[in-house]
């Protein structure tokens, strides 16, 4: 794979591993990792007006309104997208997908590929409910597949590990329902534009990463 300039979106249901794969691709391709979820959590932690409004939706597993998320994504793309980008968790509605196309056309950097990560629902629930996140540095763990060396403490910085409010059982059910209803239709939007590639993401992260790398290699020549 060429080392610079990939312009892609990682698509798929909550828990499928978009964040994990985005971090791996960023390391190998040097592109900006743009996660609207991370940006919203940061704004909420800082207590900005937008962040506090967003938090009430996020804690319930609802989508944050399009206009808020579109403004955030455009801002980050404008600042960081020139060296290539990996969108993670955006777009999540057809309205967002259209706004993204327009913004990228204006910036003359259209999407090359949308990678649609797929895994069975029981695997998504297992991954989400076992996820723990360091409150200090944001590092992700999983109680079964990636446990910390000392229970409850981050290997990287020693910070406390916590469960995201939206990884609790009721919010997980809600997020999967919202995905089916509002986000899955985005698949058709991209399939119609011939940029969609499906990838089986039910296996371990390194295996999924190898599939994505080979796909990117074939697309970018």
Single residue of 17, 37, 51, 148 touching ligand AMP by CB under 6 A: 37
Which residue, 219, 210, 220, is CA-closest to 25? 210
From the CB of residue 191, how many other CB atoms can be counted at a distance below 10 Å?
13
Between CA 153 and CA 148 the distance in angstroms is 7
Single residue of 33, 74, 92, 131 touching ligand AMP by CB under 6 A: 92
Q: Assess 13 for contact with ligand AMP (CB under 6 A).
A: no
* Helix extents (H) in the chain: 18-29, 36-46, 49-60, 66-80, 94-106, 121-130, 169-178, 185-191, 205-220
Binding pattern for the stretch 146-185 against ligand AMP, x by CB under 6 A and - elsewhere: --------------------x--------x----------
CB of 221 to ligand AMP, least distance (A): 30
Give me the numbers of helices (H) and strands (E) for the chain, helices first please. Answer: 9, 8
Q: From the candidates 53, 164, 182, 220, which is the catalytic residue?
A: 164
**Residue 41 catalytic?**
no
Task: List, by residue number, the catalytic residues.
Answer: 18, 92, 131, 164, 175
Binding site for ligand AMP (CB under 6 A): 14, 36-37, 40, 57-58, 61-64, 69, 89-92, 96, 166, 175
């Amino acid at each position: 794979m060429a080392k610079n300039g990939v312009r892609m979106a990682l698509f798929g249901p909550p828990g499928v591993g978009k964040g994990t794969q985005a971090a791996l691709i960023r390391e190998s391709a040097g592109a900006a990792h743009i996660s609207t979820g991370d940006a919203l959590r940061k704004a909420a932690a800082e207590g900005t007006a937008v962040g506090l409004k967003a938090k009430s939706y996020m804690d319930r597993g609802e989508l944050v309104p399009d206009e808020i998320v579109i403004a955030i994504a455009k801002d980050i793309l404008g600042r960081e997208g020139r060296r290539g980008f990996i969108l993670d968790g955006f777009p999540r509605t057809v309205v967002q997908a259209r706004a993204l196309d327009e913004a990228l056309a204006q910036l003359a950097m259209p999407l090359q590929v949308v990678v649609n990560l797929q895994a069975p629902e029981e695997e998504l629930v297992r991954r989400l409910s076992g996820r723990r996140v360091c409150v200090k540095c944001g590092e992700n763990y999983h109680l079964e597949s990636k446990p910390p060396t000392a229970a409850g403490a981050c290997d990287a910085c020693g910070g406390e590990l916590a469960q995201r409010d939206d990884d609790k059982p009721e919010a997980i059910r809600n997020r999967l329902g919202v995905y089916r209803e509002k986000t899955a239709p985005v698949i058709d939007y991209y399939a119609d534009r011939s940029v969609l590639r499906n990838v089986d993401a039910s296996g371990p992260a390194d295996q999924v990463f190898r599939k994505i790398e080979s796909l990117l290699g074939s697309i970018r020549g």
